[in-house]
């Protein structure tokens, strides 16, 4: 039960995009249509789960006992890049390749993955909980990208003041979405 | 001289770059935190810019993203270790946002668009200028959020102490993440307004340009 609540908390109350602003730029840029937002979110979830999980396992079993935990950041970045490259090789010559290739810069520079690893280290989570946190971070990102994509679709039908046109009105709308999500903060599981 | 030409030719802060700032904005609730994160960004950006431009001929084009990320994560690690030795309080207060700087868009964008094409000298200057630009935005954000969000000024990174300017928090909403986003939206709108006005002027009297 505790684990289910941890997952729900990572998706709603402590959503990485809305409460911590991690990966917010990627969820803005990649969310042109709701469908592409979901696809990108699925990829981020996969990379976060595998790459983040590998980094955390390495931290628990190798870096922390050997007292070289200062290397966590470079090793985590490398592992995430390696996982993305592996995924790219796996889907080669399939219909999925095009989608993945467009998302690669969003994946390797996504702050959610590294942020989730360091959050797990900071809170000293056990391995199962950490994996759930990485999964929840990815699903929360997908949710946020979906919200932003829907907002974007609505905004494209409006005519905002010239000074607000483009990015500023998007950020304003995002601020309102963040405010709506802060309503979840009252939930204590 | 170099600085002057650089300042003139430097592309203005684009709107997308404002977005790239967002993760760092989450911690700018007080001036002291803003100074800490801006300093960390400035030093690590300059360091990795110099490293990338020094190694630019050795980095294969296909592997450039992983190499840039590796270099930036190493320079952020160096800054992290130095800061932990000198200001342990600041490192605790920044938490996960310090390591996250390594994969921030600001960093990768500058490395890819400027440092990888230029000599180490100009790259260092570019890193410094970009760091100062972003630092100024972060400081402005920290100032407004601390003054109007808590009513105090210059509290320590955990939000204690400081001068009481207002008897109570006038706009406590600004401390929340949504407040920061709204602030940045208004900021971006002001930038855009100035830009639009400049363009209009240029159209009305083209001789003065």
pLDDT in tens, A22-63: 877 777 777 678 888 888 888 889 999 999 999 999 999 988
Q: Is B19 close to A171, i.e. CB distance below 8 A?
A: yes
Q: Is residue A55 part of a domain?
A: yes
Q: Give the domain range for residue A74.
A: 2-146
The CA distance from A164 to B88, in Å, is 41
Picking from A141, A135, A51, the residue whose alpha carbon sits closest to that of residue A87 is A51
Residue A183 resides in a domain: no
Tally of structural domains, chain A: 1
Per-residue pLDDT 10s for chain A (189 aa) are 778 888 888 888 888 888 888 877 777 777 678 888 888 888 889 999 999 999 999 999 988 888 888 888 899 998 998 888 888 888 777 777 777 777 777 777 788 888 899 989 988 888 989 999 999 999 999 998 898 888 888 888 888 888 888 778 888 888 888 888 887 776 665
Residue A171 lies in a domain: no
What does the alpha-carbon distance between residue B100 and residue B77 come to, in Å, rounded to a whole number?
A: 10
Q: Closest-CA residue in chain B for A106?
A: B105
Query: Into how many domains does chain B fold?
Result: 1
Cβ atoms of residues B30 and B157 within 8 Å:
yes
3-state secondary structure of B164: strand
Chain B closest-CA separation from residue A109 CA (Å): 5
- Give the global pTM: 0.84
ipTM over the 0.90 cut-off: no
Q: Kindly list the distances between the CA atom of residue B149 and the CA atoms of A21, A41, A47, B96, B179, in Å, as whole numbers in the listed order.
A: 19, 33, 37, 23, 9
> Does residue B117 surpass a pLDDT of 60?
yes
State which residue of chain B sits closest to A163, comparing Cα positions: B193
In contact, A80 and A108? CB cutoff 8 Å: yes
- At B78-109, the pLDDT tens digits run 999 999 899 888 888 888 888 888 888 778 87
Residues 30-69 of A with CB under 8 A from B: none
Of residues B167 and B115, which shows the higher confidence score? B115
C-beta atoms of A81 and B69 within 8 A: yes
The answer to whether residue A167 is domain-embedded is no
- Confidence at residue B17, expressed as pLDDT on a 0 to 100 scale: 62
Domain presence at residue A130: yes
Closest CA to A40 of A32, B49, A122: A32
Q: Residues 154..173 of A with a Cβ closer than 8 Å to B: which?
A: 162-169, 171-172
Q: Looking at the domain assignment, is residue A176 inside a domain?
A: no
Q: What is the mean pLDDT of residues B164-189?
A: 80
Q: Is A60 part of any domain?
A: yes
Query: Which of A103, A109, A137, A145 best tests the B interface by mutation, with the highest count of B CBs <10 A?
Result: A109
Tell me whether residue A128 is in a domain: yes
Dmax (CA) for chain B in angstroms is 59
Q: Which chain B residues are Cβ-neighbours of A105 within 8 angstroms?
A: 65
Minimum Cα–Cα distance from A20: chain B residue: B26
- DSSP string for residues in A47-105: HIIIIIHHHHHHIIIIITTTT-GGGHHHHHHHHHHHHHHHHHHHTTTSTTHHHHHHHHH
**Strand ranges (E), B25-161:** 152-153
CA B94 to CA B66: how far, in whole Å? 25
């Amino acid at each position: 039960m505790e684990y289910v609540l941890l997952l729900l908390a990572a998706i709603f109350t402590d959503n990485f995009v809305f409460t911590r602003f991690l990966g917010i730029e990627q969820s803005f840029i990649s969310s042109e249509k709701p469908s592409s937002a979901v696809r990108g979110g699925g990829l981020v979830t996969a990379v976060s789960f595998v790459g983040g999980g590998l980094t955390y396992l390495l931290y628990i079993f190798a870096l922390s006992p050997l007292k070289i935990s200062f290397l966590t950041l470079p090793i985590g970045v490398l592992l995430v890049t390696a996982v993305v490259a592996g995924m790219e090789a796996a889907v080669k010559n399939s219909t999925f390749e095009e989608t993945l290739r467009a998302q690669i810069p969003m994946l390797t520079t996504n702050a959610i993955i590294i942020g989730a690893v360091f959050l797990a280290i900071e809170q000293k989570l056990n391995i199962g909980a950490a994996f759930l946190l990485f999964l929840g971070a990815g699903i929360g990102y997908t949710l946020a990208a979906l919200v932003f994509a829907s907002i974007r679709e609505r905004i494209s039908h409006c005519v905002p003041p010239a000074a607000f046109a483009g990015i500023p009105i998007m950020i304003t709308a995002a601020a309102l979405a963040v405010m709506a999500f802060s309503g979840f903060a009252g939930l204590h599981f | 001289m170099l600085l002057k030409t650089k300042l003139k030719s430097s592309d203005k802060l684009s709107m997308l770059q404002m977005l790239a700032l967002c993760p760092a904005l989450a911690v700018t609730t007080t001036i002291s935190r803003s100074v800490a994160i801006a300093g960390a960004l400035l030093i690590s950006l300059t360091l990795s810019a110099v490293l990338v431009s020094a190694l630019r001929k050795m980095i294969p084009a296909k592997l450039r993203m992983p190499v840039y990320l590796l270099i930036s994560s190493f320079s952020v690690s160096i800054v992290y270790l130095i800061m932990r030795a000198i200001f342990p309080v600041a490192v605790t207060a920044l938490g996960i946002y310090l390591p996250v700087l390594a994969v921030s868009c600001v960093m990768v964008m500058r490395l890819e668009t400027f440092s990888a094409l230029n000599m180490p000298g100009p790259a260092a200057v570019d890193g410094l200028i970009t760091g100062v630009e972003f630092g100024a935005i972060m400081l402005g954000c920290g100032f407004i959020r601390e003054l109007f969000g808590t009513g105090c000024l210059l509290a320590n990174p955990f939000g204690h102490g400081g001068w009481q300017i207002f008897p109570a928090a006038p706009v406590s909403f600004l401390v929340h993440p949504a407040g920061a986003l709204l602030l940045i939206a208004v900021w971006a709108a002001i930038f855009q307004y100035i830009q639009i006005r400049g363009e209009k002027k240029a159209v009305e009297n083209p001789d003065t340009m």
